[in-house]
């Protein structure tokens, strides 16, 4: 227990020190005397606790001699020395203490009871008003100083690549499972770009447990992660960052990761994100575990189900069904561009799910004259063209339109003759913002569980895999990003000429 000591409330040295304490810097000499008159003096032994995290309190403290440490959730956040003031947040919002403060060696504190600030017989209202104004300034400074929360990051997540349903749920489940296992989870605020910037504002601290969050919510960048389970989009990524392909930037990111003492780095995204993570894994020592979670509408990580692909196909197929209904009603032919830069998974499976008439993929070998002849005999049809169809050929020729328009030009050049109205529709990006369906939510949970197992077993350069209903993992060397599709399925998506 601390020992109370008597002292001279009019001591010149005490009043001089109080005048330099942040909440009291605007006080006059008479007002400083008011404050000094209500203070109490206590001596603390080494390691003796002053305030304990989670307890309620009505007092604030001024360091007169010695040093005191502030710990939040077991982590040293800052140290207090002569003239520092702490504990003021409890006087403002009457909430439990957000951290534990203990003496480092023998120390002396002056104690200010918040009840005295509310008692005009003890402190005048004008003085109390100035003190509370000083509190507000100090709280702002104190919150900024919470930035050293990011000096050492245990598990760092990174979202990058094109947005897809499932980024946020995957992040939430990873946060949940790892936190329950005793790990601390952080995330880059803007993907690879944040690893280059390496500023405090480039990172966030994810908290799953509500009580832990309540204790840390005053600190900058702390995010309550459970709402992300149902959240659309990707809250912690930036637009694509092609500069990360440069080796110099990759090296800079690796240096910054090590400077932040990251133990585990987890990438979340598609083929571009994997490429960046694979590059980083070659630059980081084996002591840093590097892992990857596939989230991509177009399933462009081959050999596993990918988070986002199920929602993407469901929403894509429904869009096609709407075009098919309009096509029948108004006797039109629609040529629709859909996602599929390389293999065309999304375009193919959306076409199959909706029962459209033809899927045109980047790998398609089509008899365009035969298709043009078949269309010439129809009153209506819906054709799905993957965005990557003949992309290099379009680039070489200087064609400025989309893949659907290019295929339409090929049809006309191959003899298409029809009185029906033909409409070419560009790729609709609203699919990226769809709410993840139950299959993708379950997939996110399963991969988060496997990720935890990989971390606990010390594995690195691995990706969780769910294939044919079985959970496993594969090494980075085994991962393919060619987005292959089965030729038999491609043939199945041709109802015009087969």
| CATH number, domain with residue 91 | 2.60.120.10
Same domain for 103 and 202, yes or no, is no
Q: Is 295 a member of any domain? A: yes
Alpha carbon dihedral 48, 52, 58, 61, in 10-degree steps, equals 40
Two structure tokens written together for 114: 């918040």
Same domain? For 292 and 415 the reply is no
Query: 121, 149, 177: which is the final residue of a domain?
Result: 149
Mean pLDDT of 377-390: 93
Residue 479 lies inside a defined structural domain of this protein: no
pLDDT tens per residue, range 240-261: 788 999 999 999 999 999 999 9
What is the mean predicted confidence (pLDDT) over 14-32?
90
Between CA 385 and CA 87 the distance in angstroms is 63
Tens of pLDDT, residues 306-337: 999 999 999 999 999 999 999 999 999 999 99
Contact 461, 476 (CB under 8 A): yes
pLDDT exceeds 60 at position 147: no
- The per-residue pLDDT for range 448-471, each reduced to its tens digit, is 999 999 999 999 999 999 998 899
Greatest mean pLDDT among 14-23, 36-45, 50-59 lies in: 36-45
CA 443 centroid distance within chain = 18
> 132 and 58 in one domain?
yes
What's 476's DSSP letter?
G
Examine residue 475 and state whether it is found in any structural domain, yes or no: no
Which residues 6+ apart lie within 8 Å of 280 measured at CB?
Answer: 250, 253, 254, 257, 265, 290
The structure tokens listed for 168 are 């946020």
**498, part of any domain:** no
Does the residue 477 lie in any domain?
Answer: no
Residue 484's pLDDT is what?
Answer: 62
Express each pLDDT in 275-289 by its tens digit.
999 999 999 999 999
What tens digit of pLDDT does each residue of 170-221 get? 999 999 999 999 999 999 999 999 999 999 889 999 999 988 887 677 677 8
Strand, coil or helix: 280: helix
User: Is residue 242 assigned to a domain?
Assistant: yes
Average pLDDT, the chain: 90
- CATH assignment of the domain containing 286: 3.40.50.450
Residue 175's nearest CA partner among 220, 219, 218, 231 is: 231
Q: Please report whether residue 473 resides in a domain.
A: no
Domain of 190, in residue numbers:
155-307+436-467
Among candidate residues 126, 149, 172, the one where a domain is terminated: 149
pLDDT 10s digits, 418-450: 888 999 998 878 888 899 999 999 999 999 999
Residue 39 has pLDDT above 90, yes or no: yes
Domain match, 364 and 229 both: no
326 and 408 assigned to the same domain: yes
Total domain count, the chain: 3
Q: Is the pLDDT of residue 486 over 70?
A: no
Contact 53, 71 (CB under 8 A): yes
Q: Characterize 18-28 residue by residue with b for buried, 16 or more Cβ atoms within 10 angstroms of its Cβ, and e for exposed.
A: bbebbbbeebe
Domain presence at residue 460: yes
Question: Do 249 and 394 lie in a common domain?
Answer: no
* Dist. CA 408–CA 403, nearest whole Å: 9
Judge if 344 and 409 occupy the same domain. Answer: yes
Residue 386 shares a structural domain with residue 253: no
pLDDT surpassing 70 at residue 145: no
- 81 is written with which tokens? 């020395």
- Which of these three, 134, 149, 164, is where a domain ends? 149
Predicted pLDDT at 494: 87
Please check whether residues 283 and 379 belong to one and the same domain.
no
Per-residue confidence at 298, pLDDT binned at 50, 70, 90? confident
* % of the chain with per-residue pLDDT over 70: 95
In this structure, the answer to whether residues 54 and 128 fall within a common structural domain is: yes
Are 206 and 343 contained in the same domain?
Answer: no
- The verdict on 258 and 407 lying in the same domain is no
- The pair phi, psi for residue 70, each rounded to 5°, is -110, 125
């Amino acid at each position: 227990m601390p020992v109370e000591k008597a002292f001279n409330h009019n001591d010149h040295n005490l009043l001089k020190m109080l005048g330099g304490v942040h909440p009291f810097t605007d006080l006059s000499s008479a007002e400083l005397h008011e404050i000094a008159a209500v203070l109490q003096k206590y001596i603390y032994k080494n390691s003796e606790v002053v305030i304990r995290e989670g307890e309620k309190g009505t007092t604030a403290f001024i360091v007169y001699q010695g040093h005191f440490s502030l710990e939040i959730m077991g982590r040293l956040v800052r140290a207090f020395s002569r003239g520092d003031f702490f504990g003021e947040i409890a006087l403002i919002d009457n909430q439990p203490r957000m951290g534990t403060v203990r003496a480092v060696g023998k120390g002396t504190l002056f104690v200010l009871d918040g009840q005295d600030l509310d008692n005009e017989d003890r402190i005048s209202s004008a003085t109390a008003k100035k003190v509370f104004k000083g509190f507000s300034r100090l709280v702002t400074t104190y919150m900024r100083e919470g930035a050293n929360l990011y000096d050492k990051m245990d598990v760092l997540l990174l979202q990058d690549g094109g947005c897809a349903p499932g980024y946020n749920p995957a992040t939430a489940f990873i946060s949940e499972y790892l936190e329950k296992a005793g790990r601390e989870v952080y995330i880059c605020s803007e993907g690879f770009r944040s690893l280059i910037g390496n500023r405090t504002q480039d990172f966030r601290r994810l908290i799953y447990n509500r009580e832990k969050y309540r204790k840390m919510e005053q600190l900058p960048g702390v995010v309550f992660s459970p709402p992300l389970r149902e959240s659309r989009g990707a809250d912690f990524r930036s637009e694509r960052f092609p500069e990360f392909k440069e080796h110099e930037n990759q090296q800079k990111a690796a240096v910054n990761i090590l400077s932040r003492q990251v133990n585990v780095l987890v990438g979340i995204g598609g083929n571009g994100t994997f490429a960046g993570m694979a590059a980083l894994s070659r630059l980081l020592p084996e002591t840093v575990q590097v892992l990857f979670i596939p989230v991509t509408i177009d399933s462009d990580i081959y050999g596993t189900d990918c988070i986002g692909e199920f929602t993407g196909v469901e929403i894509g197929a429904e869009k096609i069904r709407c075009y098919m209904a309009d096509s029948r009603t108004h006797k039109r032919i629609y040529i629709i561009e859909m996602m599929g830069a390389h293999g065309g998974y999304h375009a193919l499976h959306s076409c199959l799910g909706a029962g459209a008439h033809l899927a045109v993929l980047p790998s398609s070998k089509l008899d365009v004259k035969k298709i043009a002849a078949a269309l010439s005999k129809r009153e209506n049809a819906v054709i799905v063209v993957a965005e990557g169809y003949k992309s290099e050929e379009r680039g070489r020729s200087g064609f400025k339109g989309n893949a659907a328009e290019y295929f339409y030009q090929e049809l006309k050049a191959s003899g298409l003759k029809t009185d029906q109205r033909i409409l070419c529709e560009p790729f609709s990006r609203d699919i990226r913002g769809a709410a993840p369906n139950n299959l993708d939510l379950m997939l996110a949970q399963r991969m988060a569980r496997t990720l935890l197992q990989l971390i606990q077993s010390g594995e690195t350069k691995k990706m969780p895999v769910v294939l044919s209903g079985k959970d496993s993992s594969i090494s980075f060397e085994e991962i393919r990003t060619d987005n292959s599709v089965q030729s038999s399925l491609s043939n199945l998506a041709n109802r015009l000429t087969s």
